[in-house]
Every structure is written in C-alpha cells, then in structure tokens.
Amino acid sequence: MAHPVNDHALDVIFRDARSQNGFTDKSVPEVLVRAVYDLAKMGPTSANCSPARFVWVTTEEGKQRLAPHMSEGNRDKTLTAPWTCIIAYDLNFQEKIPALFPHAPGAKDWFNANRDETAFRNGSLQGAYLMVAARALGLDCGPMSGFDAAGVNKEFFESQDGEMNYWRANFICNIGHGDKSKLFDRSPRLDFDEACRIL
C-alpha cells in the first residue's frame, strides 16, 4: 500500500521549490544528471510511448551554440548554469513502441492520426517529471520558454543525421544549485475554486 511522502519531501519538490533565475558555481556531476533521468523516465506516458528526448548542454561549445537562440533575458542565465537541458520530443517515437510496450506490438499504429499531438503532450509530461526528479535529488530548475524554437531545432536537430532529425524543441530548463539572491518574490497561484470544478 502506498503512503504519502513526508512534508520535507513536499517542501523540496513543490512548496519551497522555486524557478531559478541564476545558479551558483557549485558543480553538478554527470552521475547526478543521469540519476535525474533514470528517475524521470519512470513517469507514465500513453502506452509507455516515452517521446521526450533530452539534450544536456554543459560544455562551453554547446552553450555558445545555444546562446544565440535564447531570448535576451534568458541568455546570461543559460550561459552560467552548470547544465542546460533542451527538452524535446521525437516525432518518430512510434518506432520504439514495440520495445517499450511489448505486450501490444501493434500499439505503434495507434498514434498514426495524432502523432504530433501525442508526442508533444507526453513529451511535456516527461519534461515536468524531469524537473520534479531534479528537485527530488537536491537540484534546482529554471524552466524557460523564451527561445527561438526554430533556431534550436535547426542548430541541434535538423543539422544532424538519423533519428535526431525527428526531434523538436519543447522548452528549455537550466539545472544546478540555485542562487537564492536572484529570486523574485513568489507569484500568486489560483485557489482551488478558481481553477477546479467538481462534477
């Protein structure tokens, strides 16, 4: 029987967690980034289709390729973050379904009519799982939608051979240890009665 996580975990993942505008110079080892993915990949998707793809940018060369496609307000924070993840989705995700959903190999054909919608929706879910996983493992996140998606696609995906040609950028997230001095006051959230209906 499942039990709720404790209040500390809820604070770390949701209540005290903030979208970071800057990061300290504390390093984040690759083994921790891999652990974030290994946790996030366990989140549910339709028929386990798992269309999200993650490009982890940490080298100076990679950052310089990405920086011109970031909006002015997001460029410096991206250049100084230990890791920046391009959260993308694979329009060719169906090809992996026979391995991911082996009890129904024909499931790859379920999404012929709504391939793009399925890839975007489930890839967005997986991007959220990634941020929750990062927070759960002691990291901070700075998700961003201020970037030139067409430019990122051309620079990182369309110029590549093979399967990456089918990848499309969804959003971008800086990951590391947040610099609390660069936080703004937390913005309000909608109350239950403003955002929810019980039928």
Buried-state track 109-135, b at ≥16 Cβ within 10 A, e below 16: ebbeeebeebbbbbbbbbbebbbbbbb
The CATH code of domain 22-179 reads 3.40.109.10
Domain boundaries, the chain: 22-179
Host H or E run for residue 127: helix 115-136
Alpha carbon distance 22, 49 (integer Å): 34
Residue 141 identity (one-letter amino acid): C
Place of tokens 């310089």: 64
pLDDT at residue 160, as a whole number? 65
Chunk the chain into consecutive blocks of 10 residues (it has 199) and report each block's average pLDDT, rounded to whole numbers: 93 96 96 98 97 98 98 96 98 95 92 96 98 98 97 88 86 97 94 98
* Nearest CA among 9, 13, 2 for reference residue 130: 13
Single pTM value for the model: 0.95
167 within 8 A of 157, measured Cβ to Cβ: yes
Residue 164's pLDDT is what?
Answer: 82
Say if residue 83 is exposed, middle or buried (CB neighbours under 10 Å; 0-12, 13-18, 19+).
buried
